[in-house]
Chains A and B, each alone.
Chain A
């Protein structure tokens, strides 16, 4: 069964600084990887996803992520963080693109942005 690890529970960065959120997955075949953001009391918004092709994926709000098969990682990055980026970030993996393929989530990383 697939699993996802987000090693950092809580990260604090200054506004304008760069950001990298770590995600490692465990899955035997090519995974389908996602990053979501959740504001308090809200649902999940998709930032970006990787299914195949270019391993550097661009997402919304200036985020990008790089799939590294050799490291089983899919880290999320942003060159310059804005105060509005403060939220909970979840990495997730699916077995395949089939409609019944379920998402497995990591434990999340809470991002705090200081002014």
Chain B
């Protein structure tokens, strides 16, 4: 079945530094990648949608200059949290779709802690 590999699973960084999260589709081409954020005991909130080779579309209220999304290839998308602050601490999850697939394949998530 379809697999999306997300790394790292956990990361702790200092306030003011940047963190990159990678999502790779292992056995299919991820035409579209969705990035979600999940606070403890809450639901998933969509941050942005990216199509391969295009600029990401950000949801209202999400700072595009803070959360940089790159989707340069059909198998790799990255989310970079720039100048991270403690309030950016959260669980980040990616989800990939392919033109020929009806479902969404999720990564295993990244727990970001900013200290």
Residues of A near any B CB (own CB < 8 A): 34, 36, 41-46, 49, 51, 90, 97, 99-100, 102-108, 110
Contact = CB atoms under 8 A, between A and B. Distances in A.
Interface of B: 6, 31-32, 34, 41-44, 46, 49, 51, 91, 93, 95, 97-99, 101-104, 106-109, 111
Given A41-B111, A42-B108, A44-B93, A97 B102 contact: yes
Given A44-B93, A99-B98, A100-B51, 10 more contacts: A42-B108, A43-B106, A43-B108, A44-B44, A46-B103, A49-B103, A51-B102, A103-B34, A106-B43, A108-B42
A97 B100 CA distance: 10
17 contacts: A36-B106, A41-B111, A42-B109, A43-B93, A43-B107, A44-B95, A45-B106, A49-B102, A49-B103, A51-B102, A90-B44, A99-B31, A99-B32, A100-B51, A105-B43, A107-B42, A108-B42
Contacts of B42: 107-108
Contacts of A36: 106
Contact of B109 (A41, A99, A105): A41
B51 A44 contact: no
A36 B95 CA distance: 13
B58 to A, nearest CB: 12
Given A41-B109, A43-B107, A108-B43, A103 B95 contact: yes
Contacts of A107: 42-43
B14 to A, nearest CB: 22
A43 B51 contact: no
A44 B109 CA distance: 9
B35 to A, nearest CB: 11
Nearest to B46: A102
